[in-house]
Amino acid sequence: MSHESARVVVNLDLPGSRISRHLYGHFAEHLGRCIYGGFFVGEDSDIPNEGGIRLDVVEALRALQVPNLRWPGGCFADDYHWKDGIGPREERPRMVNSHWGDVVEDNSFGTHEFMQLCEMLGADAYVNGNVGSGTVREMSEWIEYLTRADDSPMAALRRENGRDEPWKVPFFGIGNEAWGCGGNMRADAYTDLARQYATYVRDHGDNKVYRIAAGANVDDYKWTAALMRGLGCLGGCPGESSSPYQALSLHYYTMTGPWADKGSATEFTEDEWYVALSRAFRIEELLTRHSTVMDGYDPDKRVGLVLDEWGTWWNVEEGTNPGFLYQQNSLRDALVASVHFDAFHRHSDRLVMANIAQTVNVLQAMLLTDPESGALVKTPTYHVFEMNTGHHDADSLEAHVVGAETREIDGRSLPMISASASIKDGRALISLSNLEASEDRTVTLDLRGAELGSVTARILTAADTAAHNTPENPDAVAPVAHEGVRAHARGLEVDLPAHSYVTVSVEVTA
């Protein structure tokens, strides 16, 4: 039985910072079946493809309006040498993917295939360079190969390999997890390398690169401080024309157990349900504190924060390669995503990009492909991304949750209602999550500062908190129209069933 548990107060006439569409970015690493069997099946496959790229995967992702795609890693990035992945596929050298399953990588998916994928998706390329085992020259030549238009050596090599015009590469990562698999470096040592390597990731022609330094793991605020100190005067010193890098990354994963036993994706207790959501909610604290460190060096927020790895990390599915990180994706994962997005919207003045790990068949994936039948499954997380496309490049609106019940979980207070809002093109989009495992709620939307017009709403839920989609039941968790929205003296009243995610779109006029 539902009862009123909270009000969500939104001042429709007080827009805040812009919610970049890049907060809805994705990540594709050479890991398990993300690239091979996920994005790429080869031109000889019976699965419909273009240049080896799966057309059903592209079609599904285009519905998400994917803004950017990060590649080739992850830990793989600092083992990857890009020249191994160009030229005729049959002549490309092989390598060992020592991080992920210790399998042999044949480099059949390389730079040209990735850029073709980005063009098919309509997504910007976020290329992650190799600092850990690469060289400054190697990274410098890669950006030249990708983006230079004249007859320079690398541009000429690109043309020999079949691409005349340069590509646009707006985003470039200066290594990955330099504190760990990217070199086990200390913060100051990596900061010096980041300045050096970033200097040689040059702007060629009209391609302007946004350089992203490999930032902190979870709550390593000292790492963030070191990178901010490394920026010096932020381009304001004599003889210093610009900052060597324009953003710092951050990585944070949600799991319910220790590293050796992170918990099951689909078999969990109610207590584990709440622990997962509480740990997802911790992203609010991390974004706040890393932003505060950055504010001390950069009060004008010229340097961006990029959460380029986030999502759930569970034990792999039984019977699968432990190095391939294949896990199912349940309604719980969807609400982990919704909690993150609410925090992203609140921090959109500093947070400029985020990339969920990962897009296909790995960790908190959008899509799962069946290796035997080739069937494609959209996960509950996919549907949260799709339901939120209206937030892309919208102006944030503060959504004040008043009177929501809380639970003390895992050492922190977890509100049972999560919310965020934005406005664009005369419509407000309000996202609402009921994190209660078994109790329904009714929430009042206290909408101020504008006249309300037409209202539409959608809901994502299921009977079971562990519900998930399979080739046999692909729509066990899928959004439908939500009829539980009514006019209210303050604005609207919305029914939120237990463990549900709801978006409400409202036409507004001044």
Total count of domains within the chain:
2
Domain that holds residue 449: 4-11+397-509
177 included as an active-site residue: yes
What is the reported pLDDT for 1? 39
CA 116/CA 161 separation, integer angstroms: 13
Q: Are residues 372 and 432 in the same domain?
A: no
Question: Do 135 and 174 have their domain in common?
Answer: yes
> Do 207 and 70 share a structural domain?
yes
Same domain membership, residue 150 and residue 42: yes
pTM for the structure as a whole: 0.97
pLDDT value at position 242?
A: 76
Catalytic residue among 177, 284, 386, 436: 177
CA angle at residue 150 from 146 to 154, to 5 degrees? Answer: 45
Annotated catalytic residue 59: no
CATH of the domain at 191: 3.20.20.80
Among the listed residues 369, 347, 336, 342, the one whose alpha carbon sits nearest the alpha carbon of residue 431: 342
DSSP string, 127-196: EE---SS--HHHHHHHHHHHH--SS-HHHHHHHHTT--SPPP--EEEE-S-TTTTTT---HHHHHHHHHH
What is the C-alpha to C-alpha distance for residues 37 and 41, in angstroms, rounded to an integer? Answer: 5
Question: Which regions of the chain are under pLDDT 70?
Answer: 1-5, 234-241
User: Does 322 lie in the same domain as 432?
Assistant: no
| Same domain, yes or no: 50 and 178 | yes
Q: Are 172 and 278 within one domain?
A: yes
Indicate whether 292 and 358 sit together in one domain: yes
Pick the last residue of a domain from 342, 375, 392.
Answer: 392
Identify the pLDDT of residue 246. 97
